[in-house]
Amino acid sequence: MPPDRQPHFAPATIRRVLALGWITAAAVAQGGAQERQEPTPRLQGYPHRDDGIADTVWTRAHLTGDWGGLRTWLQARGITPELFTTTDASLVTAGGVDPGGTAVRTLVDATISFASEPLLGFRGGTLFVDLQLQRGDDGSLDTGDLQRYSDIDHDHEFDEVAMLWYEQALCDDTVFVKVGKNDTNTEFDVAPHADHFLHASFGHSPNVLAMPTYPDPAFGAQVFWQPGGFYAGAGLYDGAAQSGVRTGERGPATVFAGPDDLFGIAEAGAMWAGRHPGRLGIGLWRHTGEFQRFDGGTDDKTTGCYGVLDQSLWRVGDGDGERGVGAFAMYAWADPTVSAIEHHGGAGLAYDGPFAQRPHDVAGLGASYGAFSRAPGAGFIGGAELAVECFYEMRLTPWLTVKPVLTWLDDPAGAPGVDDAVVLTLRTAITF
């Protein structure tokens, strides 16, 4: 039988939390004059209203408003608190392990960021904290899929300090150094046009093994250099999750005491601007932990590689607005003697503002293909698991989005006797 799923996926919602919190803090810290161009650019979340429209519950950026002016007062001093919830309700309409099975789960993120300039008088520093709570069902138990069709699914509920890091910009904002507990997938193997998709493998390729990411970020350090159209970055993190340590729920103890496993990753690439901006990145990763081979032996380390392409294809009108179509493509390879998926490929299209009357809605269609290991002892009956996702995300208010999603799973986990699955999911995201 195929090995158990390895939970190593980061929800795109976390990247939006980081984008919104960081951009707000950076604008305050620099007087609003310049926003940082990220080494791996991300969607900028849900922008605050500045168009003069009256502040009502239907037009405000946050459900709870400005807290009587307290939120604005804090932001002027470089402090940006945010609270987000993401809830998925799913129904397996056909196939899978449990046809007719249902799952409801919620992820809560409470974040706060501190900008150094208004607080301490020096520019370029950001302290970020993210508290996470996850409750509910694991939807993949009903479908039997290996890659997980919801990026907030997990096999247990948890409460944790998911991120606690400090980042400093140096050398005229061309070098960025980050130290602390971090979700690696917020910087590496990221495709911005994939952020609105539900499926976990659009967040990052599932065969980047034991990556310190949701739900188990880890302590470490990273540096990115972005002199212009080129960028390069590398990071080294606690790899204790491979030994069964839930690093997301723990502090830095396993960095300094056993297990001594480490996860290292490096990525370099090119970025281009203009009417159709895009990015191409290529990465390598290495984990020094012990991995069980399918033939019964063990390896004391493993290595893999990946690539990601993100590209704007078409803009509505003169291209000055946000409406248009973008695409992404991703590929990754891992050692088939230890990885359930040897080759992973994913691609998709996202249409921002498909209707002029609804410029903040997003429609998307994408596919994720995971080719199973053929190594002796792997035990997969099928050749690959294919997931196809179609969604329409409706921005009902600046603080509320509702997204119906249709997912088709072909040959879930390559297991015998499990039919192709069709899943309907309704995602609700609220910014408090």
Residues 294-298 have a mean pLDDT of 94
What pLDDT digit, counting tens, does each position of 204-234 carry?
A: 999 999 999 999 999 999 999 999 899 999 9
Whether pLDDT at 29 is above 50: no
Taking the C-alpha atoms of residue 18 and residue 305, their distance in angstroms, rounded to an integer, is: 25
Task: Give the pLDDT band (50/70/90) at residue 398.
Answer: very high
Taking the C-alpha atoms of residue 350 and residue 313, their distance in angstroms, rounded to an integer, is: 10
Q: What is the pLDDT of residue 43?
A: 28
User: To which residue do tokens 């299209």 refer?
Assistant: 349
- Of 321, 282, 107, the residue nearest 198 (C-alpha): 107
What pLDDT digit, counting tens, does each position of 91-127 carry?
A: 999 999 999 999 999 999 999 999 999 999 999 999 9
Task: Give the pLDDT band (50/70/90) at residue 7.
Answer: very low
Residues 36-54 have a mean pLDDT of 39
Contact 420, 409 (CB under 8 A): yes
- Of 307, 292, 309, the residue nearest 343 (C-alpha): 307
Whether pLDDT at 60 is above 80: yes
Task: Give the pLDDT band (50/70/90) at residue 26.
Answer: very low
| Amino acid (one-letter) located at 313 | L
Taking the C-alpha atoms of residue 165 and residue 115, their distance in angstroms, rounded to an integer, is: 12
Task: Give the pLDDT band (50/70/90) at residue 13.
Answer: low
Taking the C-alpha atoms of residue 289 and residue 209, their distance in angstroms, rounded to an integer, is: 11
Whether pLDDT at 32 is above 90: no
| Amino acid (one-letter) located at 381 | I
Contact 406, 91 (CB under 8 A): no
Whether pLDDT at 30 is above 50: no
3 state DSSP class of 286: strand
Whether pLDDT at 203 is above 90: yes
3 state DSSP class of 272: strand
- CB-neighbour burial class of residue 100 (10 A; exposed 0-12, middle 13-18, buried 19+): exposed
CA 265 to each of CA 187, 268, 301, 338: distance values in angstroms, whole numbers, following the listed order: 10, 11, 14, 18
Task: Supply angle C-alpha 392, 393, 398, rounded to 5.
Answer: 160
Whether pLDDT at 359 is above 80: yes
Q: What is the pLDDT of residue 175?
A: 97
Residues 168-172 have a mean pLDDT of 96
User: To which residue do tokens 């290595």 refer?
Assistant: 303
What pLDDT digit, counting tens, does each position of 65-76 carry?
A: 999 999 999 999
Whether pLDDT at 4 is above 60: no
Q: What is the pLDDT of residue 1?
A: 32
Q: What is the mean pLDDT of the chain?
A: 88
What phi, psi does 255 have (nearest 5°)?
-70, -35
Q: Which H helix or E strand runs over 345?
A: strand 341-352
- Of 7, 26, 23, 25, the residue nearest 15 (C-alpha): 23
Residues 306-331 have a mean pLDDT of 90
Taking the C-alpha atoms of residue 97 and residue 141, their distance in angstroms, rounded to an integer, is: 7
| Percentage, residues of the chain above pLDDT 70 | 87
Task: Give the pLDDT band (50/70/90) at residue 257.
Answer: confident
3 state DSSP class of 243: helix
Task: Give the pLDDT band (50/70/90) at residue 293.
Answer: very high
- What secondary structure letter does DSSP report for 258? S
Taking the C-alpha atoms of residue 61 and residue 77, their distance in angstroms, rounded to an integer, is: 19
Whether pLDDT at 90 is above 80: yes
Residues 305-334 have a mean pLDDT of 91
| Percentage, residues of the chain above pLDDT 90 | 79
Whether pLDDT at 40 is above 50: no
Q: Where are the domains of the chain?
A: 12-431
CA 134 to each of CA 84, 109, 365, 405: distance values in angstroms, whole numbers, following the listed order: 12, 9, 27, 21
- Taking the domain 12-431, which CATH number applies? 2.40.160.180
Contact 267, 283 (CB under 8 A): yes
Residues 357-385 have a mean pLDDT of 95
Claim: this prediction has a pTM higher than 0.85: yes
